[in-house]
Amino acid sequence: MITYEELFIGGEWTTPSSTELLDIRSPHDNAVIGRAAQALPADVDRAVAAARKAFDEGPWPHTSPAERIAVVRKLAGLREKRAEEIAALISAENGSALWFTKAGQPGLTRQANAYLKAAGEFGWEETLAPSDPAAPFRSVVRREAIGVVAAIIPWNSPFSSASAKIIPALLAGNTVVLKVSPENTLSMNLLAELLAEAGLPEGVISVLPADRETSEYLVKHSGVDKIAFTGSTRAGRRIASLAGEQLKRVSLELGGKSAMIILPDADLGAAIQGVKFGSLLNNAESCIAQTRILAPRSRYEEVVAGLKELVESLGVGDPADDRTFIGPMIRPGQQQRVLDYIRLGVEEGARLVTGGPEVPAGLEKGNYVTPTLFADVDNSMRIAQEEIFGPVLVVIAYDDEADAVRIANDSEYGLSGGVWSADPAHALAVARRVRTGTITVNGAPIGFDGPFGGFKASGLGREYGTVGLGTYTEYKTITVPEAK
């Protein structure tokens, strides 16, 4: 069993304000797999004070981009060396299939490399010629660090979410307080160990596992200049309102209820596989999961039959077993939430094709849910409009292409989506009409060079690449007179 009695504050392991340790439990059988200290407001005060001092008085914001790139590159290398350990810890904490957490490690490398490339090409300082050639001045435009960043991440993909925020924040010269979910304390404390090795100056970064109340204390803290949040839309709205009161910079990557449009000419076998990997990876505890499947009426029952076969073929069980595709939900409360939505779908009149609210036999000790498929779903039903965050798919019929686009857009969310067609150019044309921040054609993977984020209630701002790096900077314009 892993035990952490200290908190990582300002680059050092320190005694927490409370000696009480939280039991970290396996979602597979709810056995205790670790114990760890949790942050309270007093610890937030210390972390923010350290970050504030490091930004206002320390060397980090004044280092060159090349120096910051070197530190982040070292951090990425340290992570790669412990990739197997990281994958195992995330699987043990989250219940994600171990093969999936292992397969995700190269993605973390690509994510870091995209930010490093962006930082190397970024316009940190540019001189602009005046639009009037006779003007007796020129403008020097700088991109400078914002200050102290409160980065708040969810539990479902901790290393990816953490990297998406701390890497660009550090590359831009900010200092960071990373607030992580209690469920991820073990893996995120491993990240803290890597940060300690990377060579960051004192105070530049802290990693605090904490509950929602302490998270809100961090958001409201007067020493914080920017909030970068990934999580539910409900929490995002609360954070945005608090940030607005203090005019803090804020970026929000929030929930989704993404649609996958299967066009009439699509290769159905490929599209069904696309559902497997685009809708159900990571136990479908994913904001980008495409859980609304839009099928043409001409092939509707064929799509439903194919999805039924897929869903019933998925291995459910111990995440450490290579045969497992769907592991347990992160915690009992999330399991109950998903089961309640399945019951709601039946009450709403949807056709239960396979699955249901019964926990899989032999897995009662864990937080398991039977993968479930609903057909004859109207897009107005709650199971089609609300983010379930679990392995529940709904199939919605559409009449024609315009109807498919209308249904896809009939959502408060706009984070992800997909289009399948035998004609990729046609699929691209349809994708352009869907109001969502990221959309894939025929299952193409999401890259890290382009911006990632959401329309509508799916968030504000963007992550990844040059655009994501830019959200951690402020513009400064210096007007300089021309020499006479």
- Asked whether the beta carbons of 299 and 293 are under 8 A apart, the reply is no
* Two structure tokens written together for 202: 């004192």
Of these residues, 93, 183, 285, 287, which one is catalytic? Answer: 287
374/383 Cα distance (integer angstroms): 9
Bridging pattern class, strands 12-14 and 21-25: unpaired
- Asked whether the beta carbons of 91 and 319 are under 8 A apart, the reply is yes
Among this protein's residues, is 144 annotated catalytic? Answer: no
For 32, half-sphere exposure in the C-beta direction (CA atoms, 13 angstrom radius) is: 9
Report in angstroms the alpha-carbon separations of 367 from 116, 210, 350, 451. Answer: 38, 22, 25, 34
Of these residues, 93, 183, 253, 285, which one is catalytic? Answer: 253
Torsion sign, CA atoms 401, 407, 410, 412: negative
Among this protein's residues, is 253 annotated catalytic? Answer: yes
291/309 Cα distance (integer angstroms): 16
User: Which residue bears the tokens 């949040």?
Assistant: 229
Other beta carbons within 10 angstroms of residue 137's beta carbon come to: 10
275/303 Cα distance (integer angstroms): 11
The residue type of 206 is S
Torsion sign, CA atoms 204, 198, 78, 170: positive
Closest CA to 433 of 297, 259, 295: 259
| β-strand partners of 398 | 296
| β-strand partners of 36 | 4, 22
Give the residue numbers annotated as catalytic, written as ranges: 253, 287
